Chain A
Amino acid sequence: MNTAASPRIGLFWFASPQTFFPLAGKMVPLFSLLAAGLLLVGLYIAFLVAPTDATQGESYRIIFIHVPAAWMSMFLYLVMAFWAAVGLVFNTRLSSMMATAIAPTGALMTFLALWTGAFWGRPTWGAYWVWDARLTSELILLFLYLGFIALQAAIDDPRRADKAGAVLALVGVVNVPIIYFSVQWWNTLHQGASVSITRAPSMATTMLWGMLVMALAFWMYSIAVVLHRLRSIILERERRTEWVRELLREGRIK
């Protein structure tokens, strides 16, 4: 795809690293602010509004970190696979760079979900790790992220890395439901989904609100962090282009 400076190409206007770089630059502070604000509101609800749980006492408050982290870990994998696929099909470098930018954040979210899951599991079920379906699936998701990162790190040629990562991400995405279903079959210890779009939530409304606000906060944070990383990736990969050198000369890169 060409990167002509004409807005008439519409959808692909921002597919060029050059045009997206400044846009992303403006988005980072915006989403950071949103994340900070939502985080404050979320923490307020989590600690100062949501009441003590009848069965789990105060330990349930971990849910306000665990569930958003788990949701983000899964959501980010889908988004990562999506952009990797777009990059593979349309041959747009920026889409692939986006996938590469998402992976570390996704992996960290997965790790956080596992950590908080274990810390929640200990007081609730008696052990840090109980090999239940959800946590085990999260662990496998972490391996999928790490595999993607490792594969791209092992390939020197950036375009080969982009495409190979895309194939891996797509194979992974197809397998995620299969893996999830398999692990479910294999074990059913974890509590049923407390929040689902088809069933009424089985928790106090304030708890639900807290979770949703925190989830939004995590989402805004992820966007800000991923875009920041993306800009660094663009600078790394496009360092030989004139527009990057121009920005450097003008002192517009920091």
Chain B
Amino acid sequence: MLRVLLQVIRRDLLLAVRQKADVLNTLFFFVVVVTMVPLGIGPEPNLLRAIAPGVVWVAALLAAILSLARLFANDYADGTLEQMLLSSEPLTLIVLGKAAAHWLVTGLPLTVMSIVFGVVFDLGLQETGVLVVSLLLGTPVLSLIGAVGAALTLGLRGGGVLTSLLVLPLYIPVLIFGSGAVGAAASGVAYAAYLLLLGAFLLFASVLTPWAVALALRISVE
């Protein structure tokens, strides 16, 4: 079981390393979007500090959505996905592996990058810490839920925009608690509950979404 999971992750990581452009694009998009906001709003430090959690989180959402297409599209195009569906290994496990690899090349770099944004927006050490932890817990959920959207829209025209429309409403709870955690930390209020809830979302999503994704893949491919 674990062997299959690791193999799937290893394969996807290898593919991602060979096509660095995909991965780097997502990260650059994240950076660019976050950078746009002060340019659009003005350099007032207090204002920027107040909106930073929301901005970073929304940018993370958008970057995650942008990167979803690559989750299954390449495997679908060259027939590997079909082989995965036919394989004797549980599809849910394969899906979990792909989502994990996706997170490793998109969510994790974003999370690390957010440390820089903590500094750039003058957030303070504790707030930045909470920002990082919230993204660490939340971005895997984005990959998992996003996988459902990617699987449902596999091969469809207008895919990217359609996937966004499907997936954004589902992302909202993660957004609310993710940026809420940082907001609470900034206000000096207890933020543990927010992070715990994010953790709960992660557990919930890890267990349920592979199932939905596997079902969606079978529907889309057959």
Contacts and interface: CB of A to CB of B under 8 A. Distances in A.
**A contacts B: CB pair < 8 Å:** yes
Interface string A170-209: 1110110011011101100000000000000000000000
B152 A186 contact: no
A146 B165 contact: yes
Contacts of A168: 152, 166
A178 B201 CA distance: 10
B169 A167 contact: no
A147 B166 contact: yes
Contacts of A172: 169-170
B215 interface: yes
B23 interface: no
B157 interface: yes
Interface residues of A, number: 26
B interface secondary structure, majority: helix
Interface residues of B, number: 24
A164 B169 contact: no
Contacts of A147: 165-166, 169
Contacts of A146: 165
Contact of A160 (B166, B173, B208, B220): B220
A19 B170 CA distance: 38
Interface in B20-40: none
Contact of B212 (A150, A171, A179, A186): A171
Interface string B187-212: 00000000000000100000010001
B176 A183 contact: yes
Contacts of A174: 208
Nearest to B175: A182
B42 interface: no
B82 to A, nearest CB: 15
A163 B153 contact: no
A248 B178 CA distance: 57
Contact of A167 (B148, B162, B170, B177): B148
Nearest to B179: A186
Contact of A150 (B165, B168, B220): B165
B63 to A, nearest CB: 20
Nearest to A137: B172
Nearest to A181: B173
Q: Indicate the member of A167, A174, A183 with the most B CB atoms within 10 Å.
A: A167
B216 interface: yes
A186 B173 CA distance: 10
Contact of B162 (A151, A170, A179): A151
Nearest to A159: B219
Contacts of A164: 152, 216, 219-220
Interface in B46-72: none
Interface in B133-175: 148, 152-153, 156-158, 162, 165-166, 168-170, 172-173
Interface of B: 148, 152-153, 156-158, 162, 165-166, 168-170, 172-173, 176-177, 180, 201, 208, 212, 215-216, 219-220
21 contacts: A143-B168, A143-B169, A147-B165, A150-B165, A151-B152, A154-B153, A154-B162, A164-B219, A167-B148, A167-B215, A167-B219, A168-B166, A170-B212, A171-B148, A171-B212, A172-B169, A172-B170, A174-B208, A179-B172, A182-B173, A185-B180
Name the 8 nearest CB pairs between A and B, nearest first.
A182-B173, A163-B219, A143-B169, A147-B166, A182-B176, A154-B156, A186-B176, A140-B169
Given A147-B165, A168-B152, A178-B201, 14 more contacts: A147-B166, A150-B165, A151-B153, A151-B162, A151-B166, A163-B219, A164-B216, A168-B166, A172-B169, A172-B170, A174-B208, A175-B170, A182-B172, A186-B180
Interface of A: 140, 143-144, 146-147, 150-151, 154-155, 160, 163-164, 167-168, 170-172, 174-175, 178-179, 181-183, 185-186
